[in-house]
Amino acid sequence: MTDPVSRTILLLDIERFSDRDDVEQAYLRRMLYDITDRTLERAGIDETRRLRADRGDSVMELIDANAPVTALLRALLVDVPAQLRAVNRMASSSAQIRLRGVLATGYVAVDKHDGWVGTDLNNACRLLDAQLLRAALSERPHDFALMVSDALYTGVVRHDHPGIPADEFHPVGVDTKNGPMRAWLHGPLPSGHETAPTGTVGSIGTAGTADQDHRGTGAGEAPRVPAQGTSPESRPAPGPVFNFNGAVNIGGSVVAGDQHGVSGGQVTGDVNMGGRNGGDGS
């Protein structure tokens, strides 16, 4: 197996592929390859800068990390919908092609059997299979729904490059068998789904659950907990603390030596501090 290498990951999948007969599936696969090739060419990414894996109803592209991601995003947002419109305009109802797409970044290794290995790739595939992305495509009047990974949004999309409107991407939570993932959906959310709050990861159909709110306590500071059986209101206020040096005469008794931390008691009578007598200690 080769060492993991940083790649841009592009996944495209045909909607309702298994519902078609063999002739229609062959046609749809040919259209998928044509659309993918034209999109990458228009983004300035030739065949020497990418690897392709065929997954039947989908195609997976590993793209050189030095290839321009902004150009690829613009092609996905503009060229892919235009190509789909042109193809579907001339196709019969049974040959209409609609695509789900995911664009992500991460590290991928290639084994001796030309298999691709990498957690980032696995996560991109889970986004492609997300029910939220399927629901988004089913409600779109056009024929393409795109989701990008959180890392790609942070590194590229949010900077609002020309032709890549950041405000058209919405944070979403995606449930997977390995737990919730955060991603960004281009275009309107499907009905019944809410935007995940910034900084959280939620599940499909709900806004993300926020982390515990630590406002009012310092970082790493444990909250103050009342003693068992008492409440803050019922506990007495702490008494004064006195530090005495020398002999102290309390209520007629003499306490000799240094005394520290006498609190909560009542002192009556004359107090002799440091050998002086007097009620005010002067």
- Domains of the chain, each with CATH number or no CATH: 5-186 (3.30.70.1230), 240-277 (no CATH)
Ramachandran region, residue 56 (left: φ > 0; alpha: ψ -120 to 50; beta: rest): left
What tokens were used for 144?
Answer: 């393409």
What is the residue type of 246? G
CA atoms 45, 48, 49, 53: torsion sign: positive
The whole-angstrom separation of Cα 149 and Cα 183 is: 5
Helix, strand and coil in the chain, % to nearest 5 = 30, 25, 45
CB 99 within 8 A of CB 80: yes
The whole-angstrom separation of Cα 38 and Cα 36 is: 6
Helix, strand, or coil here: 107? strand
What is the residue type of 213? D
CB 79 within 8 A of CB 38: yes
The whole-angstrom separation of Cα 197 and Cα 211 is: 11
Is residue 225 exposed (0-12), middle (13-18) or buried (19+ Cβ within 10 Å)?
Answer: exposed
Spell out where 125-222 has E strands.
144-149, 169-174, 181-186
Is residue 50 exposed (0-12), middle (13-18) or buried (19+ Cβ within 10 Å)?
Answer: middle
Helix, strand, or coil here: 171? strand
What tokens were used for 271?
Answer: 């107090």
For 80-91, letters b (16+ CB in 10 Å) and e give: bbebbeebbeee
Q: What is the pTM of this model?
A: 0.69
To which residue do tokens 């990498």 refer?
118
Q: What is the pLDDT of residue 56?
A: 84
125 Cβ contact partners less than 8 Å away, ≥ 6 residues apart: 11, 102
Q: What is the pLDDT of residue 59?
A: 96
Helix, strand, or coil here: 201? strand
Q: Which H or E run contains 65?
A: none
| Residues comprising the chain, all counted | 282
For 235-272, letters b (16+ CB in 10 Å) and e give: eeeeeeeeebeeebebeeeeeeeeeeebeeeeeeeebb
Phi, psi of 24 (to 5 degrees): -65, -40
Residue spans of the chain under pLDDT 70: 196-282
Helix, strand, or coil here: 282? coil
Q: What is the pLDDT of residue 179?
A: 85
